[in-house]
Amino acid sequence: MENQYAIEMLHITKKFPGIIANDDITIQLKKGEIHALLGENGAGKSTLMSVLFGLYQAEEGVIKKDGKEVHIKNPNDANALGIGMVHQHFKLVECFTVLDNIIMGVEPNKFGFLQKKEAREKVLELSEKYGLHIDPDAYIEDITVGMQQRTEILKMLYRENEILIFDEPTAVLTPQEIDELMHIMKNLAAEGKSILFISHKLNEIKAVADRCSVLRKGKYIGTVDTKDATIEELSAMMVGHNVNLHVKKEECTPGEVVLDIENMTVASKMHKNNAVKNVSLKVHRGEVVCIAGIDGNGQTEFVYGLSGLEPLVSGKITLCGEDITKAPIRKRLLSGMSHIPEDRHKHGLVLDYPLDYNCVLQNYFKPEFTNKFGFLRKKNIREYAEKLIEQYDVRSGQGPITIARSMSGGNQQKAIVAREIDKNPELLIAVQPTRGLDVGAIEYIHKQIVAQRDAGKAVLLVSLELEEVMDVSDRILVMYEGEIVGELNPKTATEDELGLYMAGAKRDEVKA
């Protein structure tokens, strides 16, 4: 009987100090199927893939390809077995063309001279076969994120990989691009490629995957046929209890203005134009205002300008009646601004500091944590961190002394959220607070945001996730090319309508 599995990972166990990242996990990928791998952050998905790629060696378990046991010691072995991966963050050379990127590392050559012509033909052929519609001569920096992703896919196809791994491929895409990707994935599977699809987005898994394996806290929970499972069942498998996918919240009762932005303009670092153009808005007590938009439309620069990371070209910011347009960052933080940054590794944490040091990043100078001679009160810092860990359920290997770098992404984010909310701010700026997080953590963070609103705080949420935008916010402002192009009420607006504004197809004159 012919073996029906392209790749099997049987009883894989991988331990790290203080944690069992993979505990007896079995995943069997059938030929020509799309197999989803679902799990919370820290559930062990990345570790499992690293084992498959030879980056880690499992203590127990075997990997079989086409029924034969194989030993994968390093990524080269994985490549030789036809295993390819599209990473969440693309590995492309920006100033090279699509074709150059595809052939990179396996350049066809004669006596050291490149033979691009045949490569080009092969790429075009593949592109057509799988409906990728790609221009091989375009430069990476000029094409959309979706196109870049297809370049990555072509890279795998060009190398004749049979097993394709997609690591959270939709995180960076617009809704339309996601649809196209789903279509491409189905084409690939129909042509006999086996796909392992890592995601937390249940509706995507439901839409595209044939089967779904679920991991939870390093353990294998089970594999189901997606057509037989509901989204609710899947999420319950993932988090271990039933989750409320929709945020429950009371009617909002806006109070006085907390944040007032007038005609804010911020320069761009990428190009000569301004990234944020003449934006005015107000955020009141007790409401969640959401800035929606497709990535790269000036949201990042808007937050930089607001939080003081970048200076304004013009405009005025008033926080609680105080002009903070030119105030230094610390002044803003002390006047009641909390900021959950978009990039938790770049801004949110000092990764080489232990968790307790990270918990006091903005408070370390206060008398609780530093005595009058300038010495740190390490005991108080430790105790404060323990309090936050307990209260906000931040999980880590060694508690407050865990180095932040070794924590899972979700717990890193929880630590930041805990720190920012515990400051008891007047204004909470949350930028993509749930990016890359699993359903359980998302639910938790949404609850915290709504709780802040209910406690009479002003919340400014910047998000790329349509669902999040619709669920959490009380008022939606759409940002397109650095301008606010529409204000919507999440109760009456539809996702389609929002999409039109986000894509720049529709705009209103908005008065703040």
Partner 1 sequence: MIKKILKNDAFQSLFASLICIVLGIAIGYIVLLFINPEGAGEAILEVLKNFMHYSKTNLQIKNFGNTLVKTAPLLMCSLSILFAYKVGLFNIGAAGQYCVGICVSLYCALALGMGWVPCMIFAAIAGALYGAIVGLLKSYCNVNEVISGIMLNWIALYSTNMILMNVKDSTSPYTYHLNIDSQNAILPTLGLHNLFEGNERVTIAIPLSILFAILVSVVLDKTKFGYELKATGFNKNAAKYCGMAEKRNIIVSLMISGAIAALGACFLYLTDYEQWSCTSAAVPATGFNGIAAAFLGGLNPIGAIFSSYFIQHITVGGSYVDKTMYCAQISDLISAIIIYLCGFVFFIKYAMNQLIDKSEEKKALKAKAIAEANTQEGGDK
Is 322 a binding residue for partner 1 by CB under 8 A? The answer is no
> CB of residue 324 vs partner 1: minimum separation in angstroms?
13
Q: Is 116 helix (H, G, I), strand (E, B) or coil?
A: helix
At 82, give phi and psi (nearest 5°): 80, 30
Q: Does residue 143 contact residue 177 with C-beta atoms inside 8 Å?
A: no
Tokens of residue 287, six digits: 């409401």
> CB of residue 313 vs partner 1: minimum separation in angstroms?
19
Is 375 a binding residue for partner 1 by CB under 8 A? The answer is yes
Look at residues 360, 416, 349 and name the one whose alpha carbon lies nearest to residue 385. 360
> CB of residue 257 vs partner 1: minimum separation in angstroms?
24
Distance, CA of 336 to CA of 320 (rounded, Å): 8
> CB of residue 448 vs partner 1: minimum separation in angstroms?
20
> CB of residue 58 vs partner 1: minimum separation in angstroms?
9
Q: Is 257 helix (H, G, I), strand (E, B) or coil?
A: strand
In this complex, which beta carbon is closest to partner 1, that of residue 22 or of residue 473? 22
Distance, CA of 342 to CA of 295 (rounded, Å): 11
Q: What is residue 248's DSSP assignment?
A: P
In this complex, which beta carbon is closest to partner 1, that of residue 60 or of residue 128? 60
Tell me the site size for partner 1, rule CB under 8 A. 32
> CB of residue 375 vs partner 1: minimum separation in angstroms?
5
The position carrying tokens 């945020």 is 247
Tokens of residue 388, six digits: 């936050």
Tokens of residue 224, six digits: 């189901």
Report 48-77 residues binding partner 1 (CB under 8 A).
57, 59-60
Distance, CA of 26 to CA of 106 (rounded, Å): 33
Distance, CA of 244 to CA of 282 (rounded, Å): 30
Is 505 a binding residue for partner 1 by CB under 8 A? The answer is no
Residue type, 377: R
Q: Does residue 239 contact residue 439 with C-beta atoms inside 8 Å?
A: yes
Residue from 104, 231, 309, 320 in contact with partner 1 (CB under 8 A): 309
Residue from 145, 243, 351, 503 in contact with partner 1 (CB under 8 A): 351
Residue from 4, 365, 494, 512 in contact with partner 1 (CB under 8 A): 365
Is 339 a binding residue for partner 1 by CB under 8 A? The answer is yes
Is 191 a binding residue for partner 1 by CB under 8 A? The answer is no
In this complex, which beta carbon is closest to partner 1, that of residue 164 or of residue 355? 355
Is 192 a binding residue for partner 1 by CB under 8 A? The answer is no
List interacting residues with partner 1 (CB under 8 A). Answer: 57, 59-60, 307, 309, 328-333, 339, 341, 346-353, 357, 361-362, 364-365, 369-370, 374-376, 378
